[in-house]
Amino acid sequence: MPLDKSLYVSNVWKEGIFDNKVVFCTGGAGSICSAQVRAMVYLGANACIIGRNVDKTEAAAKDIATARQGAKVLGLGAVDVRKPEALAAAAKRCAQELGSIDFVIAGAAGNFLASIDNLSSNALKSVMDIDVLGSYNTVKATLPYLIESAKKYKTDGITPPPNGTGGRIIFVSATLHYAGTPLQSHVSIAKAGVDAMAVSVAIEQGPKGITSNVIAPGPIGGTEGMDRLSRKESRDKSAKMIPSQRMGSVKEIADATIYLFSDAGNYVNGETIVVDGGQWHTGGIDKGGFEYPDFLLSGEIVTGVAGGKKSKL
């Protein structure tokens, strides 16, 4: 049964704006990325989602396809973003079976909670490899198709493009590194690298018609990350530190995605769209109920969450 539209896309968008376009998304079975892709599919796109877990990825693809009658959504599992040859093969299959790659969402990521003194080199490397190297491999695998799409759907920013837009990439980042966040040094380092990569892509590929931007979600309710990385009893307290006084929804990330990929986002390039209700301005030292600085000074290991990590130097 199709998911209620109100859960993943706002009513402001015109149906069919992504007709005959294809979106390629790594981490596409995740809570946030699946909502981004579902919104694109509802508005006319076909899609290819990438993941390591075969069953989860294929099931997510079938579910996303219910957003629009006749939609085509490929779910390619057993694809590790750390392996460039695997991503290249996935991109090739996507273009062959769906006809193109017009939009890319680099969303694969890894996370857990750990302080630097409990973080091993291998643990840091794992996050860097998934987030930074994985995003780089995604760019390399899809760039030829994006360049072709950008050339085909060129716009002057005044005349509405008759065939829509194309040649755009979004990197899914975070706000953790803006003010600094305890227990998240590894992810902060990785996401800072992703942000820098997005700007480099914008500068180097912009003359070819490519736009490259970042969406930085804040605390989004009901997501796997929120469930794994925070204590249930602390979430209401954490929400009070957000100026908007609530957690965000996956729909709000999807809406930002549509904006950047649509005609409305033609002249936005090399930028970061923060979708966090203003949280990063006030929430840098609050992390899922682990009180600052008491928890760090206690020398305790993270417990009580599914995303804890016990590592030795």
> Which positions are annotated as active-site residues?
173, 191
CA gap 227, 232 in Å, rounded: 7
Amino acid in position 63: D
CA gap 20, 143 in Å, rounded: 19
Q: Where do the DSSP E strands lie in the chain?
A: 22-26, 46-50, 73-76, 103-106, 168-172, 211-217, 272-275
Residues 40/284, Cβ–Cβ less than 8 Å: no
Cβ–Cβ contacts within 10 Å for residue 22, how many? 25
CA gap 191, 122 in Å, rounded: 17
Q: Where do the DSSP E strands lie in 88-154?
A: 103-106
